[in-house]
């Protein structure tokens, strides 16, 4: 079964392919089908994920899945939340720069903004959240919804070279490392996306009779 991922994030595609391994799914990025990214105007992760999945399903004429994820910091009232990807505002385009290079610059700006907002604040509690929504078709009346949370704390400075986004700042006390210091297989065992994907695997088997 082809399942269109409503994202063009290569690392997210790789993570989800690994997390859905063993299911009879061909997970493809929407960009390979020339599907544009959906607007994300909503204030909650689940509404944005549903909007993205619905657009990808309508454009592809079949099943789609979307992940809306981000970082929620306790001392900031849940911010950056749904604007995690652009917490510092959109970085300007740079001539000749590819998508992944621009994303790395955006990540660096977001991390710097977060550290500035938390300067002098002792409470560094935070969690990553991933909300997955899957649709059989654009008008599916029964979207599958799975949510995973991964608690940790924000460090004073980044550590590690793996992952993306806020991974270098997010320390997981139970693992004694930042997310960016974890090997990919370890991250895929413990992450917010892994927890949401585990729920989604069960829903896909139960509701869509896959696997």
- Backbone φ and ψ for 36, nearest 5 degrees, come out as -75, 155
Owning domain of residue 65 = 2-207
Instruction: Report yes or no: 76 and 117 within 8 Å, Cβ to Cβ.
Output: yes
Ordered DSSP codes for the chain: -EEEES---HHHHHHHHHHTTTSS-EEEEGGGGTPPPPP---SSHHHHHHHHHHHHHHHHTS-EEEEEEEEEEGGGTTTBGGGGGGTT-PPPP-TT--HHHHHHHHHHHHHHHHHHHTTT----EEEEEEEEEEESSTT-SS-EEEEEEEEEEE-SS---SSSSTTTTTEEETTTTEEGGGS-HHHHHHHSHHHHHHHHHHHHHHHHS---
**CATH code of the domain in which 123 resides:** 3.90.950.10
Active site residue 68: yes
* Counted domains in the chain: 1
Q: Which of 51, 63, 67, 55 is nearest to 19 (CA)?
A: 67
- List per-residue pLDDT tens for the chain, 211 residues long: 999 999 988 878 988 998 898 999 999 999 999 999 898 889 999 999 999 999 999 999 999 999 999 999 999 999 999 999 999 999 988 888 888 899 899 999 999 999 999 999 999 999 999 999 999 999 999 999 999 999 999 999 999 998 889 999 999 999 999 999 999 889 889 999 999 999 999 999 999 999 7
Catalytic residue, chosen from 26, 34, 39, 68, is 68
Task: Examine residue 3 and say whether the peptide bond preceding it is cis (omega within 30 degrees of 0).
Answer: no
* Model pTM score: 0.89
């Amino acid at each position: 079964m082809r399942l269109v991922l409503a994202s063009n994030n290569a690392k997210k595609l790789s993570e989800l392919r690994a997390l859905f391994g063993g299911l009879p799914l061909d997970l493809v990025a929407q960009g390979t089908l020339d599907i544009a990214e959906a607007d994300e105007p909503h204030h909650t992760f689940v509404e944005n994920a549903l909007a993205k999945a619905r657009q990808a399903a309508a454009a592809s004429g079949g099943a789609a899945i979307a992940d809306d994820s981000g970082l929620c910091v306790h001392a900031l009232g849940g911010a950056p939340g749904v604007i995690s990807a652009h917490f510092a505002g959109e970085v300007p385009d740079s001539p000749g720069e590819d998508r992944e290079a621009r994303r790395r610059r955006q990540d660096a700006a977001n991390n710097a903004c977060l550290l500035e907002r938390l300067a002098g604040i002792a409470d560094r509690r935070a969690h990553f959240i991933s909300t997955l929504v899957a649709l059989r078709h654009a008008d599916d009346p029964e979207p599958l919804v799975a949510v995973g949370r991964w608690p940790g704390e924000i460090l004073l400075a980044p550590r590690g070279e793996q992952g993306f986004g806020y991974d270098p700042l997010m320390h997981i006390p139970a693992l004694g490392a930042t997310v960016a210091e974890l090997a990919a297989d370890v991250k895929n065992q413990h992450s917010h996306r892994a927890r949401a994907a585990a729920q989604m695997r069960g829903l896909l088997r139960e509701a869509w009779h896959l696997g």
